[in-house]
């Protein structure tokens, strides 16, 4: 079966509108390939909406219900906020059409994260941060990380506040590769590497192997490599299938935009492999104490917390 004819499974959850983040969290915990929110259904009042999660195959119905119950409890919503749960099949072309219809450019500090099909008007003047080097082009296909989700934006904000040009960088759970691409662009723009505004040939970048990015999903790595090529930084990033391990070398700067349940068992290794700054994201407000207690157990006391919506990121100083 060709990619255009491949069928995906869409789990459609109709619920009270204020529960959208909780439902998206549950779908992510179920390893959905991506989510979207559609409030154009039968209810025109805005009181309910439909959150859709896409999957390679239907997850177990009991698992779906358990994850929804847990997410609603975390966000302090009652179970009766869920009005309807339905499945449908969807072709790959329909999925891509939904992305193109809903996803618009997102501004995060110096960066404009934009889909490949969207025109971005820029001002190339030196004093305007929206010049072409700061545009990150992403074609998500079926990987997580478009720049619109709060967890990704928190990481992008933190990356810009750290003096990255001289740092080595590891992105654990890279998804679309957006964070590694952002670091590569900051490095390329720095005076240390003498990159000029008219630089277009990727082979001129002199930051080989200082940036690595990994993901346990082979498809995500393939997508991340394509996105790096779209941004002319593919030769600057070492993408590999897998995760952080004892064999992973040390990096100055490590980012783990995962989920709290994945971060906790990895935390000792993440700290061990970071020499300066570690960014932890994919963490809900309610999970902050859990992560901070784990840091204290590991005798770490220096971190800052960033907040966006229901999500937080911890920037941990490992020196």
Higher pLDDT, 51 or 2: 51
Q: Is the pLDDT of residue 307 over 50?
A: yes
CATH number of the domain bearing residue 207: 3.40.50.150
Q: What is the pLDDT of residue 40?
A: 43
Residue 20 in tokens: 């959208």
Higher pLDDT, 29 or 263: 263
Q: What is the pLDDT of residue 254?
A: 96
211 and 89 share a domain? no
Separate counts of helices (H) and strands (E) for the chain: 8, 14
Residue 255 in tokens: 């980012």
CATH number of the domain bearing residue 38: 3.30.70.260
59 and 193 share a domain? no
Rounded to the nearest integer, the mean pLDDT of the chain is 80
Instruction: Say how far apart CA 83 and CA 134 lie, in whole Å.
Output: 42
Higher pLDDT, 129 or 52: 52
307 and 269 share a domain? yes
Give the range among 134-138, 211-215, 239-243, 275-279 with minimum mean pLDDT.
134-138
151 and 219 share a domain? yes
Residue 304 has a CB neighbour count (10 Å cut-off) of: 12
Which of 20-29, 94-103, 256-265 is most confident?
256-265
Domain boundary among 72, 98, 124: 98
Q: Is the pLDDT of residue 1 over 50?
A: no
Domain boundary among 47, 80, 98: 98
Element holding 258 (H helix, E strand):
none
Instruction: Give 30's DSSP letter.
Output: T
Overall average pLDDT of the 29-56 stretch = 72
Domain boundary among 98, 115, 135: 98
Instruction: Say how far apart CA 30 and CA 27 lie, in whole Å.
Output: 5
**How many domains does the chain divide into?**
2
Length, in residues, of the chain: 319
Overall average pLDDT of the 243-261 stretch = 93
Q: Contact at 8 Å (CB) between 27 and 63?
A: no
Q: Is the pLDDT of residue 202 over 90?
A: no
Torsion of CA 29, 145, 258, 9, to 10 degrees: 20
Instruction: Name the residue range of residue 108's domain.
Output: 104-317
82 and 108 share a domain? no
Q: Is the pLDDT of residue 153 over 70?
A: yes
Q: Is the pLDDT of residue 124 over 80?
A: no
47 and 132 share a domain? no
The 3-state DSSP class for residue 55 equals strand
- Give the dihedral sign, CA 263/264/269/271: positive
86 and 200 share a domain? no
Instruction: Say how far apart CA 166 and CA 210 lie, in whole Å.
Output: 9
Q: How confident is the model at residue 35 (pLDDT cuts 50, 70, 90)?
A: confident
Q: What Cα–Cα distance (Å) separates residue 20 from each residue in 8, 27, 191?
A: 22, 11, 43
Overall average pLDDT of the 55-66 stretch = 87
199 and 162 share a domain? yes
Instruction: Say how far apart CA 159 and CA 154 lie, in whole Å.
Output: 9
């Amino acid at each position: 079966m060709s990619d255009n004819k491949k069928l995906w499974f869409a789990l459609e959850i109709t619920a009270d509108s204020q529960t959208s983040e909780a439902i998206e969290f549950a779908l992510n915990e179920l390893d959905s390939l991506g989510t979207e929110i559609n409030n154009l259904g039968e209810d025109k009042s805005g009181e309910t909406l439909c959150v859709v999660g896409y999957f390679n195959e239907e997850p177990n119905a009991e698992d779906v219900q358990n994850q929804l119950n847990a997410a609603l409890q975390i966000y302090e919503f009652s179970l009766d906020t869920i009005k309807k749960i339905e499945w449908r099949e969807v072709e790959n072309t329909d999925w891509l059409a939904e992305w193109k219809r809903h996803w618009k450019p997102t501004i995060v500090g110096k960066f404009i994260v934009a889909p490949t099909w969207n025109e971005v008007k820029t001002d190339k003047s030196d004093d305007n941060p929206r010049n072409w080097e700061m545009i990150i082009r992403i074609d998500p296909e079926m990987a997580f990380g478009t720049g619109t989700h709060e967890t990704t934006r928190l990481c992008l904000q933190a990356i810009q506040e750290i003096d990255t040009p001289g740092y080595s960088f590891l992105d654990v759970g890279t998804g679309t590769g957006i964070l590694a691409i952002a670091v590569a662009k900051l490095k390329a723009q720095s005076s240390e590497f003498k990159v000029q505004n008219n630089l277009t040939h990727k082979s001129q970048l002199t930051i080989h192997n200082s940036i690595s990015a990994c993901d346990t999903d082979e498809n995500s790595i393939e997508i991340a490599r394509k996105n790096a090529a779209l941004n002319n930084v593919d030769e600057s990033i070492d993408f590999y299938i897998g995760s952080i391990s004892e064999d992973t070398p040390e990096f100055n700067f490590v980012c783990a935009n995962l989920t709290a349940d994945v971060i906790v068992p990895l935390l000792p290794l993440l700290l061990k492999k970071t020499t300066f700054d570690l960014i932890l994201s994919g963490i809900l407000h309610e999970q902050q104490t859990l992560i901070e207690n784990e840091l204290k157990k590991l005798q770490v006391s220096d971190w800052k917390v960033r907040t966006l919506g229901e999500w937080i990121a911890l920037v941990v100083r490992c020196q």
